[in-house]
Amino acid sequence: MKEITKYEKALNLINESHYILIMTHMNPDADTISCALALSNYFSENKIKHKVFNKMSVLPSSLDYLSKFDKITDQFPKFYDLAIYVDCGDIDRPAVATSKDVKILNIDHHKSNNDFGEVNIVDISKASTAEVLYEFFAQNNLKISKNTAECLYTGVYDDSLQFSTPRTDASTFKIVNKLVECGVDPSYVATQLTRRDSLAKYRLLPRILDSLELHCEGEVATIYVLDEWLKESGASYRECENAVNMILNISIVQISIFLRVSNGKTRISLRSKKDDVSIVANAYDGGGHALAAGCSYDSTDVIEAKNNIVEYIKRNRN
């Protein structure tokens, strides 16, 4: 007898359910939102009842061109009999738990994922969860509409940092090629994602870059943003979060760190060219990928947090 694949098992779970809750992670990025909306578009086209949940009341508006974006809710439905987690490296990433009685379908690409679902489609070799989700569609021969393809393309494009991270490979381009054949316009997606900045962003950015300090002979770079700068400029943190990637572009810099106050703590984003910064993030109860991770420091003193994490890296880096 032919063994049933995880892709078929996942489809069976979907077909057996009456109402599906799609779970995205806190501080959502394009990958988690895109995957949720790819499923949402497919489900809508096939009359499958569902909701997309995210705990945040404000979502990244740069993704508002994706079909069904306006349907994402921070309210739990009264009834659901399947939960699909997308791009969640662990079960707590959505910051709200689903009912213990409800089966979980877990679709992800994080190394930290411990297969917390009833069915797990987890592939840590993929640059984005969108590529993992594409395999679910492809292996089950499901029709990918233009709207669904646009969501998947957006997830791949953004999570691979525009096809530049080490896990970007031939399979990434094969998938992207298929998605373009499904009707995606790459220029349109790139324009929507990267060419709709506010003026406020460019008032805030110089102040953030002015906070730049180099440590460890220039190999570790830090920047931060203070709440008052956000208020004065009218820009949000999210609009400037890419600054952490900008300073990593400096030739000698190997690790870049961006700090800000959020919910009574200092939130720390780490990026790296080679070093595994998820180890650093783990030491501060955070997590993520080898080259992109995040954690929190239990104080609203950004300078103290910066000194603490730089000291930790100095001590533990060789």
For strands 103-108 and 119-122, give the pairing. Answer: parallel
Q: How far is the CB of 182 from Mn ion (least distance, A)?
A: 21
Q: How far is the CB of 168 from Mn ion (least distance, A)?
A: 13
- 23 vs 261 by CB, closer to Mn ion: 23
Alpha-carbon distance of 145 to 160, in angstroms, equals 22
Q: How far is the CB of 2 from Mn ion (least distance, A)?
A: 32
| Pair of tokens at residue 225 | 């943003």
Match 């220029």 to its residue by tokens.
187
Task: Say if CB 154 and CB 130 are below 8 A apart.
Answer: yes
Task: Say if CB 134 and CB 179 are below 8 A apart.
Answer: yes
Confirm or reject binding of residue 87 to Mn ion (CB under 5 A). Answer: yes
Task: Say if CB 111 and CB 278 are below 8 A apart.
Answer: yes
Confirm or reject binding of residue 108 to Mn ion (CB under 5 A). Answer: no
Buried b (16+ CB within 10 A) or exposed e, 177-197: ebbeebebeeeebeebbeeee
Match 């409800």 to its residue by tokens.
102
Print the binding letters for residues 111-140 with Mn ion: x by CB under 5 A, - otherwise: ------------------x-----------
Confirm or reject binding of residue 158 to Mn ion (CB under 5 A). Answer: no
Print the binding letters for residues 269-298 with Mn ion: x by CB under 5 A, - otherwise: ------------------------------
> Nearest residue by C-beta to Mn ion?
31
Sign, CA torsion 154/160/164/167: negative
- 40 vs 129 by CB, closer to Mn ion: 129
| Rounded alpha-carbon distances, angstroms, from residue 163 to 68, 88, 154 | 25, 21, 11
Task: Pick one of 159, 205, 269, 305: the residue that binds Mn ion (CB under 5 A).
Answer: 159
Q: Which stretch binds Mn ion (CB under 5 A): 3-11, 53-61, 77-85, 159-167?
A: 159-167
- 111 vs 265 by CB, closer to Mn ion: 111
Q: How far is the CB of 292 from Mn ion (least distance, A)?
A: 9
Q: Which stretch binds Mn ion (CB under 5 A): 10-18, 49-57, 86-94, 186-194?
A: 86-94
Task: Say if CB 272 and CB 243 are below 8 A apart.
Answer: no
Alpha-carbon distance of 121 to 127, in angstroms, equals 14
| Pair of tokens at residue 267 | 């939130």
Alpha-carbon distance of 212 to 222, in angstroms, equals 6
Confirm or reject binding of residue 31 to Mn ion (CB under 5 A). Answer: yes
Q: Which stretch binds Mn ion (CB under 5 A): 63-71, 153-161, 236-244, 305-313?
A: 153-161
Print the binding letters for residues 46-85 with Mn ion: x by CB under 5 A, - otherwise: ----------------------------------------
Task: Say if CB 25 and CB 93 are below 8 A apart.
Answer: yes
Q: How far is the CB of 96 from Mn ion (least distance, A)?
A: 19
Task: Say if CB 268 and CB 309 are below 8 A apart.
Answer: yes
- 88 vs 208 by CB, closer to Mn ion: 88
- 88 vs 221 by CB, closer to Mn ion: 88
- 21 vs 33 by CB, closer to Mn ion: 33
- 34 vs 41 by CB, closer to Mn ion: 34
Task: Say if CB 244 and CB 269 are below 8 A apart.
Answer: yes
Catalog residues that contact Mn ion under the rule CB under 5 A.
31, 87, 129, 159
